[in-house]
Amino acid sequence: MEKKKLLLDCDPGHDDAIAMMLAAGHPKIDLLGITVVSGNQTLKKTGKNALHLCEYLKIDVPVCLGSPRPIVRDVEICPRIHGESGLDGVTFPPPKRSVDPRHAVDFIIETLLHSDEKVTCVTTGPMTNLALAMRLEPKITDHIHEVIVMGGSYANGNVTPAAEFNIYEDPEAADIVFRSDVPVTMVGLDVTRQVMALPDIVKRMDSIQNKASELFVKLMKVFNENQRKVFGLPGGPLHDPVTIAYLIDPSVLTVEFVHCSIDLSHNQSYGRTNCDMYDYQHKEKNTYIATGIDVDKFWDLIEDGLSRYDDL
């Protein structure tokens, strides 16, 4: 089976954790490394969470810390959803391994330039690290197969009426990536809100009865409670793993190729992904926007992913 080379940039984060689990365990994916950014919590906490998760799930890839803040705007973390630790609901013993000494931006550049095949870059947090890498070494765009972004929406936001958190947290970074000449697939709230970890889903995953499913259940308990408190949702939308599910099986999503631009005006729409779904402006199309999701197929992929950790 031909493996897809993957660099995962994330801000764990409850749903990032499930994305990491899915990516690291699937035989179709060659996970080259995990880079971390501030977002759901401070970089110190998201970095610690990534290390803990790699140790717990026995994911043996470099974990590199990246930017502690967005390129232009001030950092704005999200404890109301992910808690004080950024991964409330689980505790781990002190990690035995350390983060890789290389900065995430350097690691992204080095890994891409030295890869013998093009690499897929998935971002499930603010896009600061990838954007900085593109600015520091523009040649890396020739080594990227595609960027799959969890972020944005062509409808409503989740941090302002207009903007989704990952984009809103660093709109300038998103603008750099979306305007690069690399194919971008945007997995936005429009589809991720359709995969909520409802009680029957949690029960289904709990029945797997291994350490990965145990982690899933503990994470979803807190994630679901906070999503209920903040958004009144019956379950937490598993935003980030949709990117990995799409990498594993593209048929899980329906996508449309449109023009998408990031609103950088410092007004109420700052950070919005303006997706020209009806081609009003006749601008050059640049982004594959996820418009539909096969919910059953997604949960089958999550169940399959968790089941691959029986020998932990």
- The residues binding ligand RIB (CB under 6 A) are 11, 13, 15-16, 39-40, 124-125, 150, 158, 164-166, 239-240
- CB of residue 142 to ligand RIB, shortest distance in Å: 27
- CB of residue 229 to Ca ion, shortest distance in Å: 19
164 binds, among ligand RIB, Ca ion, none (CB under 5 to 8 A by kind): ligand RIB
Nearer to Ca ion, 87 or 208 (CB): 87
Report which residue type is found at 209. Q
- Which spans of this chain sit near Ca ion (rule: CB under 5 A)? 11, 13, 16, 124-125, 240
- CB of residue 16 to Ca ion, shortest distance in Å: 4
Nearer to ligand RIB, 57 or 109 (CB): 57
Q: Are 259 and 276 in contact (CB under 8 A)?
A: yes
Whats the size of the chain, residue-wise?
A: 312
11 is catalytic: yes
**Of 9, 11, 16, 106, which one is the catalytic site residue?**
11
CA 231 to CA 241: how far, in whole Å?
20
Nearer to ligand RIB, 93 or 232 (CB): 232
Q: Are 149 and 240 in contact (CB under 8 A)?
A: no
The three-state secondary structure class of 152 is coil
66 binds, among ligand RIB, Ca ion, none (CB under 5 to 8 A by kind): none
165 binds, among ligand RIB, Ca ion, none (CB under 5 to 8 A by kind): ligand RIB
Q: Which two tokens stand for residue 163?
A: 């903007």
The three-state secondary structure class of 76 is coil
Q: Which two tokens stand for residue 205?
A: 């995953």
123 binds, among ligand RIB, Ca ion, none (CB under 5 to 8 A by kind): none
Q: Are 259 and 231 in contact (CB under 8 A)?
A: no
Nearer to Ca ion, 33 or 208 (CB): 33
* Pairing of β 253-262 and β 287-293: antiparallel
φ, ψ of residue 234 to 5 degrees: the values are -75, -10
State the catalytic residues: 11
